[in-house]
Amino acid sequence: MRFKKTLLTFALFAIAINLLAQRSNGYLATPDKDLLRIKAPLDSFNRRLPVEKVYLHTDKPYYNIGDTLWFKAYLLDGVNLTASKLSGLLYVELDDDSTQMVRRISILIKEGLGWGQIPLTKAIFHEGGYTLRAYTNWMQNFGEDYVFSRRFYLGVPAQEAWLVKSSAAINRVNNKDQLDVSLILKRSDKASSAVSLRKVEVKIYDQTLYLYKKEMLTGIDGSLKLSSILRGKTDGKRLRVQIRSLEERDGEKNIRGSVEYQSSSKYRCSVFTGKWPPVAGLKSVVGFKAIGEDGKGTPVLGAVYNSKGIEVASFTTIHNGMGSFEFTPTAGETYTAKISQPIVKSVVFPKVSAVGTVMHIVNTETAGDLKVSLYASATVSPTDSSCYLIGTSRGVIYYSYKVQLNQPDISVSKKLFPSGVVRFTLFKGKTPLNERAVFIDNHDELNIGIKPNKTTYKNAIV
């Protein structure tokens, strides 16, 4: 309880200092009721539902059957990243590729720290992919986003292992989706010889959904090819394969792994303009992300056209299928983004709003301040007396400012916030109008250096 009171006092103190600074600018003399109405629900939420974060530090990135998985656990308060005092017990579990929990242990947490180990015995575990998860009972109230999760592959000693290379495609055949899978099995010895002429059982799953089962004989080169009409809809992103040898000489050889799905004919492209649609007459920054069927970012090239087919902006990806561009929409127009490379695809923009606000934030890496610009359409009063700019990080208000729309750029010091993601929200009374998120790096990460002792000893007597 003392910790929570200290945290709340710190948040109130930060707001009070900020309000005093704003008073000198003539915008806010005393805290008004609207600002307190915005702040009260957030403070109440943090008190009633504090957030925990957990991280597991493992001794290795991958393991073999027979190893022991050693780990150290860090359980932190989600607001200030200090040791959490809310939970004293952490659950750690291992799930296989069928999402079945194979092993679960609980460890004590003291001062935010805990240690443990899981023996990966042959009697319990098999070769394949596993997911390491960690959570407290309290964290289960907030969903999977708050659960620690890390995938790793559990193998067998190299001289005994089989390797599998896979590729898959979903093709349209007679108005039905057909899954075509190609597999190649090889040994992991120095010669990487093929697992040839072996009788095996092949099973294909879409995550936990069973799709296909067949007994087959590998080719001279260790290849396997199979096709199956899919009964239901699948996007191909969660396909996995299980191969089991049916021959006594191989023992109980069992391989499980994901299937690499490739397709150059289908892409998904999302257009982000913030939570609100673009506003007529105001310059908008539009972000986009193009994703291939393999789930990875894909470079694209295209342009934006109005209803008359006139190009108003062009765009190309900058990194991992992501990018942004600027354009000023016109009232009554409709806009479509057309991708020209590597495929032809169209994405319709949200309907242009005749009334609204736009927020721009310039976050120069080397600058000490953020530049915030607020614009409103002509029908919105630029001198509205109930507009506030609120800056929050990890659920705590660190910045509050009574603003006027279409005023000169607002400078906000980055030192007011901790390192991490900061959300700026524009309120009119208690109603949010616009929001933007930025990342602030105060370069305050832990930096540990080791300085060797270069003293030399001569004529030492041993």
CATH value at residue 340: 2.60.40.10
310 has a pLDDT exceeding 50: yes
Q: Could you count the other beta carbons within 10 Å of the beta carbon of residue 35?
A: 22
Q: Does one domain contain both 248 and 173?
A: yes
Q: What angle do CA 320, 323, 326 make, to 5 degrees?
A: 180
In this structure, are residues 258 and 419 in contact, taking their beta carbons and an 8 Å threshold? no
pLDDT at 7: 41
Q: Does one domain contain both 59 and 43?
A: no
Q: Is residue 459 domain-resident? A: no
DSSP tag of 170: E
Q: Is 358 left (phi over 0), alpha (psi -120 to 50) or beta?
A: beta
Report, as an integer, the average pLDDT of 99-112.
Answer: 92
Query: In the β-sheet with 52-58, what is the strand arrangement from edge to edge?
Result: 52-58, 68-77, 113-119
Q: Is residue 461 domain-resident? A: no
Residue 271 pLDDT class (50, 70, 90 cuts): low
Looking at per-residue pLDDT, the higher value among 323 and 39 belongs to 323
Q: Does one domain contain both 63 and 121?
A: yes
C-alpha span between 22 and 34 (Å, rounded): 16
pLDDT at 11: 43
Q: Does one domain contain both 58 and 149?
A: yes
Q: Does one domain contain both 35 and 68?
A: no
Q: Which of 236, 258, 280 is at the close of a domain?
A: 258
Q: Does one domain contain both 175 and 247?
A: yes
Q: Is residue 69 domain-resident? A: yes
Looking at per-residue pLDDT, the higher value among 243 and 413 belongs to 413
Residue 234 pLDDT class (50, 70, 90 cuts): low
Q: Does one domain contain both 127 and 80?
A: yes
pTM above 0.75, yes or no: no
Q: Is 368 helix (H, G, I), strand (E, B) or coil?
A: coil
C-alpha span between 301 and 318 (Å, rounded): 10
Average pLDDT, the chain: 79
pLDDT at 276: 55
Q: Which of 258, 289, 323 is at the close of a domain?
A: 258
Tell me the CATH number at 436.
Answer: 2.60.40.3580
Query: If we measure between CA atoms, which residue out of 299, 400, 352 comes closest to residue 17?
Result: 400
> Taking the mean position of all CA atoms in its chain, how far away is CA 376?
32
Query: If we measure between CA atoms, which residue out of 297, 296, 291 comes closest to residue 345?
Result: 291
Q: Is residue 148 domain-resident? A: yes
Q: Is residue 421 domain-resident? A: yes
Q: Could you count the other beta carbons within 10 Å of the beta carbon of residue 448?
A: 4
pLDDT at 381: 63
Q: Is residue 447 domain-resident? A: no
Residue 414 pLDDT class (50, 70, 90 cuts): very high
Determine which of 62-71, 188-197, 325-334, 388-397 has the lowest per-residue pLDDT on average: 188-197
Q: Which of 202, 232, 258 is at the close of a domain?
A: 258
Q: Does one domain contain both 41 and 77?
A: no
What is the domain count for the chain?
Answer: 4
pLDDT at 254: 75
pLDDT at 38: 72
114 has a pLDDT exceeding 70: yes
Q: Does one domain contain both 85 and 12?
A: no
Q: Is residue 383 domain-resident? A: yes
What does 4-47 look like in DSSP terms, one character per residue?
HHHHHHHHHHHHHHHHHHHHTTTS-SS--HHHHHHHHHHHHHHH
C-alpha span between 336 and 344 (Å, rounded): 13
119 has a pLDDT exceeding 90: yes
Q: Does one domain contain both 75 and 120?
A: yes
What are the strands, taking DSSP E only, across 123-266? 128-135, 148-155, 162-173, 176-187, 199-206, 209-217, 223-229, 239-245, 254-258
In Å, how far are 27, 326, 364 from 318, measured between CA atoms? 40, 14, 17
pLDDT at 449: 84
Report, as an integer, the average pLDDT of 349-359.
Answer: 84
pLDDT at 206: 73
Q: Does one domain contain both 360 and 437?
A: yes
Q: Could you count the other beta carbons within 10 Å of the beta carbon of residue 433?
A: 20
Q: What is the pLDDT of residues 442-456, one digit of tens each?
A: 888 878 888 887 766
Q: Is residue 58 domain-resident? A: yes
Crossing angle, helix 33-48 and helix 2-23, to 10 degrees? 160
Q: Does one domain contain both 107 and 119?
A: yes
Domain membership of residue 223 as a residue range = 158-258
Query: If we measure between CA atoms, which residue out of 360, 300, 357 comes closest to residue 326?
Result: 360
3 has a pLDDT exceeding 60: no
pLDDT at 396: 84
DSSP tag of 2: H
Determine which of 31-35, 310-314, 349-353, 410-414 has the lowest per-residue pLDDT on average: 31-35
